[in-house]
Amino acid sequence: MVLLLNFIVFLVLVIIFSIIRKTFWDYGRLALVADNEGFNESTHRRYGRMSSVLSNADDHEYEGRFCSWLPYILRMDEEKIKSRCGMDAIHYLSFQRHLLFLLFVITVTSLGVILPVNMTGDLLRNHTQYFGQTTLGNLEVGNDLLWLHTVFAVLYLILTVLLLRRHTSRMKDRRRETTRNSLFVCSLPKTATEEDIKTHFTEAYPTCQVCDVTLAYDVAKLMHLDKERLRAGKNLRYYERILEKTEKPALINPRLCGHLCCCSNVEKVDAIEYYSTKEKELLVEVRKQAEEVPQHPLGLAFITLQNEAMAKYILKDFNALECDSTSCCSCCGREPQPSTNSKALRVNKWQVSFAPHPRNVYWENLSVSGFSWYVRYLLLNLLLVVVLTFLTTPTIIINTIDRFNVTKPIAYLNSPIISQFFPTLLLWSFSALLPTMVYYSTLGESHWSRSSEQLSMMRKLYFFLLFMVLILPSLGLTSLDVFFRWLFDKTFLTDGKMRFECVFLPNQGAFFVNYVIAAALVGSGMELLRLPGLLLYIIRMMLARSAAERKYVRQNQAYEFEYGAMYGWTLCVFTVVMAYSIICPVIVPFGLLYMLLKHLVDRHNLYFAYLPTRLTHQVHLGAVNQALAAPIICLIWLYFFSVLRAGQEQQQSRNGVKHGERSSK
């Protein structure tokens, strides 16, 4: 019944998306219809597609019929995705395909071997729910077939390592799009000049030719002002074209939401005069800020050399001196290659690495560094932990609702749809809100590059989702608050009782199966609709002052694909499936269904809905490392289950002996 209900919801969501896509075509291909000029002007977090011109043949292929986009994304080859979305999309989709193959193999073995073995037991044969007979709990502690579960858990770990190793080897074999001939130098004296730095490299490394030296400055305010100036200029050109066509000046309401009926009585102004004045004022501010920028150096520099070999030679010299001490010479006994400017430039304090791609850098965040960055990072993450610990755990919300007897009338219904569908849907809803909270907290950390931002987002999201979705429900704990009290509070166990014998009950496995079903069907449908993005788009359209600004919003409503959030979300469900693949093998086919639908949805969104993101390999390698945790957690869960079962068996034997002694007395 729960599967049928989730499937109906999935069909409804897909039909709604197809109708919206057919009726409001731009919503279905945001990243393809965006004006190139609009994206080039936006220097904050977006940039144009690598090939944004669509042929009429391609347009006709996926525009013609209802749901014609579905066969189109199935037929898309790797080269087409690479040309639109970049190499990062290829790495991401390849990772999903390897997980798909892994889950397919595990599905065959789980349904063909583990499930029949579990059903040979008779501990839960008289249980009211048939589902319990499919779990490991149906086998007795001394069953001769229990060794199969451990063997298959180890085989799953080995297979996961082999497949992910194949994925990483293919990722490294792919040719890089750009050569690394630039170095990024940190901890420079703020009084250093480009000529001093170039002289140092020329003298210290005479075999290396320095082509360019670029110092970094605090340009956050300048970038914001320039973006607003370009936006005002574009709005001005829009109304100038209208004036040429209609020969009538356009009037606008300069207030926020001025086009709404509630603000229609406000006096209107001439659009060309308004945006012309605004552009001139912003141009003056931009020129003033540009004059002040050289007064705020950041102690950072980009060094461009003739080729990659020279960059590697210099980088090797600095990396050879890395040690535990903050000063290289204090532990290694020597400094890097010297020059006449070494002492003035404090070369022994430098931190040198390959320079990230310009599109991978958040130039406006380079001014946030040192102690202030670490304080910001700690405060934001402490706040995130507090919020997630005490407020967003689903069980806490349910308990709070129960205090007001809101759920009593629902409980009286005694319906399996109510008792099974809505708890898992609630857990999925809160776990779906979690990426948004982690996303904005990560933005507030002001990372210097997209790669470090996405890596931080992926790690935090995976950690919190794992606790919310897998660890706490499996241990029967209501929240991180109870978990920490159980770990560190000495009086907690004496005042209360943790019923660990209730962990891994048959119904608990059914809960996780229902969660994976909801994530596969409801989650995939919601990702197609992208409701948060649609709501944000509606709000931005309402706040626009004029038709020109509304056009600007339409041209800039596509955002970069958040690989960190998508990796974290996918790995969470994958870990849940792997953790219960032995204990509850019925979960694996639905995990395969989730990964298949997720792969198709991501192919569509990468191609049609999101702009490409340029990242380093560290993000994709980080996802591989986190995926390796899934089969390890499976082994831990199996060990934990075995220890609990053995402890319960011993306790029951002791109770039986005591009862027999009392009877004899």
pLDDT of 186 strictly over 50:
yes
pLDDT of 652 strictly over 60:
no
Mode of pairing for the β-strands spanning 297-305 and 251-252? unpaired
C-alpha 315: how far from chain center: 31
**Distance, CA of 222 to CA of 227 (rounded, Å):** 8
Max avg pLDDT among 106-120, 261-275, 412-426 = 106-120
Count of Cβ atoms closer than 10 Å to residue 20 Cβ: 15
**Distance, CA of 287 to CA of 592 (rounded, Å):** 57
pLDDT of residue 128: 56
Characterise 653 by phi-psi region: left (phi > 0), alpha (psi -120 to 50), beta (else): alpha
pLDDT of residue 38: 41
Q: How much of the chain, in percent, has pLDDT values that exceed 70?
A: 72
- Condensed to tens digits (0 to 9), the pLDDT of residues 337-366 reads 888 888 899 988 888 988 888 888 899 889
User: Confidence band (pLDDT; 50, 70, 90) for 372?
Assistant: confident
pLDDT of residue 654: 53
H or E, element range at 289: helix 271-292
In this structure, what are the phi and psi dihedrals at residue 54, rounded to the nearest 5 degrees? -100, 140
**Distance, CA of 83 to CA of 607 (rounded, Å):** 10
Q: Comparing C-alpha atoms, which of 16, 49, 82, 69 is closest to residue 555?
A: 49
Question: At residue 25, what is the residue type?
Answer: W
pLDDT of residue 18: 82
Q: Comparing C-alpha atoms, which of 390, 588, 373, 556 is closest to residue 478?
A: 390
On the CB side of 263, CA atoms within 13 Å amount to 15
Distances (CA, A) of 112 to 359, 438, 574: 49, 40, 20
Cβ-proximal residues to 533 (8 Å cutoff; 6+ apart), any chain: 557, 559
- Looking at residue 491, the DSSP 8-state letter turns out to be T
pLDDT of residue 37: 41
pLDDT of 64 strictly over 80:
no
pLDDT of 212 strictly over 50:
yes
Report the CATH fold assignment for 182-218+296-356: Alpha-Beta Plaits (3.30.70)
Count of Cβ atoms closer than 10 Å to residue 603 Cβ: 20
- Condensed to tens digits (0 to 9), the pLDDT of residues 471-516 reads 777 766 544 455 555 555 555 545 544 454 445 554 567 778 888 9
CATH 3.30.70.330 in the chain, residues? 182-218+296-356
Q: Comparing C-alpha atoms, which of 481, 499, 566, 496 is closest to residue 93?
A: 566
Task: Please return the burial class of 246, using the count of CB atoms within 10 Å of its CB with bins 0-12, 13-18 and 19+.
Answer: exposed
**Distance, CA of 325 to CA of 348 (rounded, Å):** 11
**Distance, CA of 491 to CA of 483 (rounded, Å):** 14
Structure tokens at 230: 């370009």
- Condensed to tens digits (0 to 9), the pLDDT of residues 5-53 reads 889 989 998 888 888 777 764 555 555 555 444 444 343 343 344 433 3
Structure tokens at 460: 């935090």
**Distance, CA of 273 to CA of 251 (rounded, Å):** 10
pLDDT of residue 443: 87
pLDDT of residue 595: 96
Of 550-554, 595-599, 652-656, the poorest mean pLDDT is in: 652-656
Q: How much of the chain, in percent, has pLDDT values that exceed 90?
A: 28
pLDDT of residue 62: 57
- Condensed to tens digits (0 to 9), the pLDDT of residues 385-416 reads 887 766 555 555 555 554 445 545 555 545 55
In angstroms and rounded to an integer, the radius of gyration of the C-alpha atoms of the chain is: 30
**Distance, CA of 509 to CA of 474 (rounded, Å):** 9
**Distance, CA of 81 to CA of 427 (rounded, Å):** 34
Characterise 414 by phi-psi region: left (phi > 0), alpha (psi -120 to 50), beta (else): left
pLDDT of residue 650: 54
H or E, element range at 297: strand 297-305
**Distance, CA of 570 to CA of 588 (rounded, Å):** 15
548 vs 302: which has the higher pLDDT: 302
Structure tokens at 174: 């792919």
Max avg pLDDT among 119-123, 260-264, 317-321, 525-529 = 525-529
pLDDT of residue 576: 93
pLDDT of 417 strictly over 70:
no
Cβ-proximal residues to 531 (8 Å cutoff; 6+ apart), any chain: none
CA distance from start to end of the chain: 53
pLDDT of residue 541: 77
pLDDT of residue 421: 60
Across residues 520-548, what is the average pLDDT?
82
Structure tokens at 297: 């150096």
Structure tokens at 65: 């019929």
Structure tokens at 283: 């141009």
Of 84-98, 249-263, 488-502, the poorest mean pLDDT is in: 488-502
**Distance, CA of 185 to CA of 283 (rounded, Å):** 32
- Condensed to tens digits (0 to 9), the pLDDT of residues 566-578 reads 999 999 999 999 9
Structure tokens at 161: 């390592």
Q: Comparing C-alpha atoms, which of 499, 501, 496, 475 is closest to residue 650?
A: 501
Average pLDDT taken over every residue of the chain: 78
Cβ-proximal residues to 276 (8 Å cutoff; 6+ apart), any chain: 236
- Condensed to tens digits (0 to 9), the pLDDT of residues 434-481 reads 777 888 888 888 898 888 999 999 999 998 888 878 877 776 654 445
